[in-house]
Structure 1
Amino acid sequence: MNNIFITGIGTGVGKTVASACVTEALGAQYWKPVQAGLQDATDTQTVRALLSEPANVKEELYRLRMPASPHLAARTEGLTIYEDRIIEHAKQLQQADKPLVIEGAGGLMVPLSGQYFTLDLIKALGAKVIIVAQNYLGSINHSLLTAMALRNADVPVLGWIFNGDHHTNEDDIISWSRYHRITRIPRARKLNHDFVAVQAELMRPALQQLLSAV
């Protein structure tokens, strides 16, 4: 399957905006299998509003009201997240002529059920990974732990997307992790389709080159 999985070094680092930009850059489909938290606009709704082709955005498989770890939100609502169902649905969504960009919830070790984590799902999907990072106190540790977990699991990594203002930590993370820099998405004065289109155009050459090399 031609899957690209967008994971983050933590929560709130800009995965959804990065996912929209990657989807736009590749003319791909976007899918977030599990959405936890329905109080505000969902990530799926946000991405749909940002893309030039909203039809490329697919609906979530699991919609959980509680803004919490998927396993906890599902447990609280009396539901079970079935990993096989996610994998089968990904196969159904897959098209030969375009990748499927899958946005995860939080980071690699977010549990989807009692003994099943996001990293397990990535491996089962056979996905290539893009890591989204943002500079904050502790981000080097979170970034390098994420890179280490992916390398130890033999998961192919396309590279990093950094969000926000440049910081020298970004250059150190690239050097230490030995994964490529795809791009850095600056802070948006106004987050809209035009912003995403510009960022998609800038990252497209690097994405295409990395995809052809993996």
Structure 2
Amino acid sequence: MSVLVVTGTDTGIGKTVFAAGLAAALGAHYWKPIQAGVEPDGDKEEVARLSGLPAAQILPEAYRLATPASPHLAARIDGVTIALDRLALPQVDGPLVVEGAGGVLVPISETLSMADLFAHWGQPVILCARTALGTINHSLLSIEALRSRGVPIAGIAFIGEAHAENERIIPLLAGVRSLGRLPLLDPLSPATLAQAFAAHIRLSDPFNG
């Protein structure tokens, strides 16, 4: 089984759309272990809509929390205790795309962040980043947080309008490879996502950095 973890520099930057495109391109299973906020739908429903993958390849969450908040807070409000043993990677045939919740250092509990969970898994991570102002700092800090925990980084994927300097300087300063830039899509559909992903994202050997 080959695993790629998709995370982001922040919430709401498009990593679910990227994860859907990635899972579709690889014919992978998709799993979001912790979903916080399900109105009107959670991210796995969005991935199912955008990826066109068979329903059996969209795996159920380990935790599906009603409150749209950081996982540690959503769990507290919902009266749930998040346990590490329930977050073991599911065993599937073929590749698995795993999507984190929020940014790299979002807390899962009082003692565990998403980056700590990634370190526990030991699988390569793709960092999704905005192209807009502020992304240099956010991206470099996220990469430092991952590296300080020994998390392997498969690359950085930009999402948004073109910004040649940000897309150049971040991989250079961080020493990570750029996987390309996924443009904002209107309309956003399975067809437009698949086309844009094939045209703009480089996946030569994503499992081996």
**TM-score, length-normalised on structure 2?**
0.93
Taking the aligned partners of 2:19 and 2:127, their CA distance within structure 1 comes to: 10
Runs of 4+, deviation exceeding 6 Å: none
Q: What secondary structure, in the 3-state scheme, does the structure 1 residue paired with 2:204 have?
A: helix
Taking the aligned partners of 2:70 and 2:61, their CA distance within structure 1 comes to: 16
Taking the aligned partners of 1:29 and 1:185, their CA distance within structure 2 comes to: 21
Quote the residue 1:54 is aligned against: 54
Q: What secondary structure, in the 3-state scheme, does the structure 2 residue paired with 1:191 have?
A: coil
- Confirm or deny: 8 A CA contact 2:132 2:160 kept in the other structure: no
Picking from 124, 129, 141, the partner of 1:133 is 129
Taking the aligned partners of 2:123 and 2:34, their CA distance within structure 1 comes to: 16
Quote the residue 1:10 is aligned against: 10
Picking from 108, 112, 116, the partner of 1:116 is 112
Taking the aligned partners of 1:183 and 1:57, their CA distance within structure 2 comes to: 25
Structure 2: any 5+ residue segments left out of the alignment?
none
* 1:203, distance to aligned residue in structure 2 (A): 5.7
Picking from 161, 181, 185, the partner of 1:184 is 181
What do you get for the CA RMSD once the two structures are aligned? 1.5
Picking from 158, 162, 174, the partner of 1:166 is 162
Q: 1:75 to 1:3 in 2, by over 3 A?
A: same
Aligned length: 207
- Confirm or deny: 8 A CA contact 1:3 1:102 kept in the other structure: yes
Q: What secondary structure, in the 3-state scheme, does the structure 1 residue paired with 2:108 have?
A: strand
Instruction: Quote the sequence identity (%).
Output: 42
* 1:138, distance to aligned residue in structure 2 (A): 2.0
Structure 1: any 5+ residue segments left out of the alignment?
none
Taking the aligned partners of 2:140 and 2:77, their CA distance within structure 1 comes to: 32
How far does the alpha carbon of each residue in 1:48-91 deviate from its partner, in whole angstroms, 9 at most, with x for none?
Answer: 0112223221111111111100010111111101111111xx2x
Quote the residue 2:29 is aligned against: 29
- Confirm or deny: 8 A CA contact 1:3 1:125 kept in the other structure: no
Q: What secondary structure, in the 3-state scheme, does the structure 1 residue paired with 2:52 have?
A: coil
Quote the residue 1:143 is aligned against: 139
* 1:99, distance to aligned residue in structure 2 (A): 1.4
- Confirm or deny: 8 A CA contact 1:33 1:62 kept in the other structure: yes
